[in-house]
Amino acid sequence: MSALGLIFSNIHDNNIPELTAKRTVASIPFCGRYRLIDFALSNMVNSGIAKVGVITKSNFQSLMDHVGSGKDWDLARHYGGLFILPPFGVVENNFLYTTRLEALKNVTGFLNKSSEDFVVMSDSDMVCNMNFKPIIAYHVEKNAAMTFVYVEKEKYDVERKHTPCLTIENGVVEDVSYGSTEGKINLFTNVVVIKRTLLISMINEAVSHGKKHFIDDVVKPELSSGRVYAYKHEGYYEEITSLQKYYDENMKFLDKEVRDEVFRKANVYTKVKDSTPTEYGEKAIVKNSLVADGCRIEGEVYDSIIFRGVKIGRGTVVRNCILMQNTITGESVNLNCIIADKNVVIKDRRNLSGCENHPFFLPKGTVV
């Protein structure tokens, strides 16, 4: 059973305006050396999917730069491989999609040209290690129209207001609602398996009737057929839905169990940078921290995530921070609960502090 992948790269941009000012959600740097889309792309590749379309809308230069030809994900192929699907606009009809359905309408050409049996749709705001093979097999076994992947969460784990939750009866999706009940919820991951031809006809029909919303207008009418199945994903799954959540989820990777679950069960691929090894100086003290390659650590780092190419000067103390690529700190700097976006420079003897439930954010290229 062949399947192609579709990844939505912009759909949650508004959730984290700080980090998406100059990039898509998909290209948000994560955990030292990754971008969020690496998880969705690696899940596809690890599930044997060799053709992946990435739907983009705006701000996607950093994303294009990151994925390139797709070779780092083994997606630079003669047959299949990576397809970037930017908006199909003309001057008189300057159309940018606003909903998932409109985004899908934009890519019906790509879907029509393809020959794969199934489509696996995924968002790019999630961090997880998910194998689609058993999900597709389940979809086939049940002869489902659509299969929705969900995870069980406590209500308080999920802070987003418009969280889609599934009501499930005997494995069949009965209803999709937007975050209401207390206690346990079935959080919909936005991962959907569907037959390609069915997806095309659903899109065409919905659009010709002037429908706008994928869940409300396309999925919900389908639920009564009883052929929309739910598939539960076990194990680590988180969505990056706010700056706070971004901070907390990065920090979770200081836990070996989480690292082993996400990175050691299957490969997570990312763009390679030919960084040199990281150098630790004579006075370096590093505790409970993740450090990527290409760094030079002369000072002290505690409970932090350090991205590629970061320089920590002598006498500098970094605690509970996320320092993205090429952050440079001078000497005798004190940083606590800081999220520094790429290329931030912090000069000698500066003291900056946020707090754990309100990390202080420094935008890309800031000089302090």
Partner 1 sequence: MINKKESVAMLLAGGQGSRLYALTNRIAKPAVSYGGKYRIIDFPLSNCVNSGIDTVGVLTQYQPLVLNDYIGNGEPWDLDRSYGGVHILSPYQAKHGQEWYKGTANAIYQNISFIKSYKPEYVLILSGDHIYKMNYAKMISAHKKTGAACTIAAIKVPLSEASRFGIINVKENGEIYEFEEKPKQPKSDLASMGIYVFSADKLYEYLEADEADENSSKDFGKDVLPKMLAAGEKMFAYTFKGYWKDVGTINSLFESNMDLLNRDSELDINDPTWKIRSRNPIAPPQYIGENGRAVNSVVVSGCEIEGDVENSILSHDVTIRKGAVVRNSIIFSGADIGEGAKIDYAIIDENVKIGKNASVGEQNSEGKISVIGRDVVVSDGAKVPAGEITDKDV
DSSP tag of 71: G
Q: Is 276 in the site for partner 1 (CB under 8 A)?
A: yes
- Evaluated on CA atoms 145, 77, 100, 250, the torsion sign reads positive
Choose the binding region for partner 1 from 19-27, 46-54, 163-171, 259-267 (rule: CB under 8 A): 259-267
Q: Is 68 in the site for partner 1 (CB under 8 A)?
A: no
Q: Is 188 in the site for partner 1 (CB under 8 A)?
A: no
Q: Is 257 in the site for partner 1 (CB under 8 A)?
A: no
Q: Out of 259, 314, 319, 364, which residue is the one contacting partner 1 (CB under 8 A)?
A: 259
Q: Is 274 in the site for partner 1 (CB under 8 A)?
A: yes
Choose the binding region for partner 1 from 26-34, 179-187, 220-228, 353-361 (rule: CB under 8 A): 26-34
Q: Is 289 in the site for partner 1 (CB under 8 A)?
A: yes
Pairing of strands 3-8, 118-123: parallel
Q: Out of 84, 243, 284, 317, which residue is the one contacting partner 1 (CB under 8 A)?
A: 284
Least Å distance between CB 294 and partner 1?
Answer: 8
Q: Is 342 in the site for partner 1 (CB under 8 A)?
A: no
Choose the binding region for partner 1 from 135-143, 153-161, 267-275, 343-351 (rule: CB under 8 A): 267-275
User: Residue 284's CB: how many other CB atoms inside 10 A?
Assistant: 16
Q: Out of 254, 317, 345, 368, which residue is the one contacting partner 1 (CB under 8 A)?
A: 254
Least Å distance between CB 58 and partner 1?
Answer: 30
Which is nearest to 301 in space by CA: 275, 338, 274, 246? 338
Q: For residue 161, which amino acid is it?
A: K
Contact assessment for residue 61 and residue 24, using Cβ atoms and an 8 Å cutoff? no
Neighbouring-strand partners of residue 194 = 119, 146
Which is nearest to 16 in space by CA: 367, 366, 359, 365? 359
Q: Out of 44, 101, 151, 290, which residue is the one contacting partner 1 (CB under 8 A)?
A: 290
Considering the complex, state which of residue 81 and residue 226 has its C-beta at the smaller distance from partner 1. 81
CA Rg value for the chain: 21
Least Å distance between CB 68 and partner 1?
Answer: 12
Of 28-47, which residues contact partner 1 (CB under 8 A)?
31-33
Q: Is 198 in the site for partner 1 (CB under 8 A)?
A: no
Considering the complex, state which of residue 189 and residue 289 has its C-beta at the smaller distance from partner 1. 289
* 39 SS3 class: helix
**CA 349/CA 351 separation, integer angstroms:** 7
Please report how many Cα atoms fall inside a 13 Å half-sphere around the Cα of residue 180, on the Cβ side: 6
> Token pair for residue 319?
């605690």
Considering the complex, state which of residue 285 and residue 367 has its C-beta at the smaller distance from partner 1. 285
Q: Is 159 in the site for partner 1 (CB under 8 A)?
A: no
**CA 44/CA 131 separation, integer angstroms:** 8
Least Å distance between CB 249 and partner 1?
Answer: 14
> Token pair for residue 167?
């009501």
Q: Is 288 in the site for partner 1 (CB under 8 A)?
A: yes
Which is nearest to 305 in space by CA: 38, 63, 30? 30
Q: Is 280 in the site for partner 1 (CB under 8 A)?
A: yes
Phi, psi of 41 (to 5 degrees): -65, -45
> Token pair for residue 144?
């489902």
Q: Which residues would be at the binding site for partner 1 (CB under 8 A)?
A: 31-33, 71, 253-254, 256, 259, 263, 267-269, 272-274, 276-293, 305-306
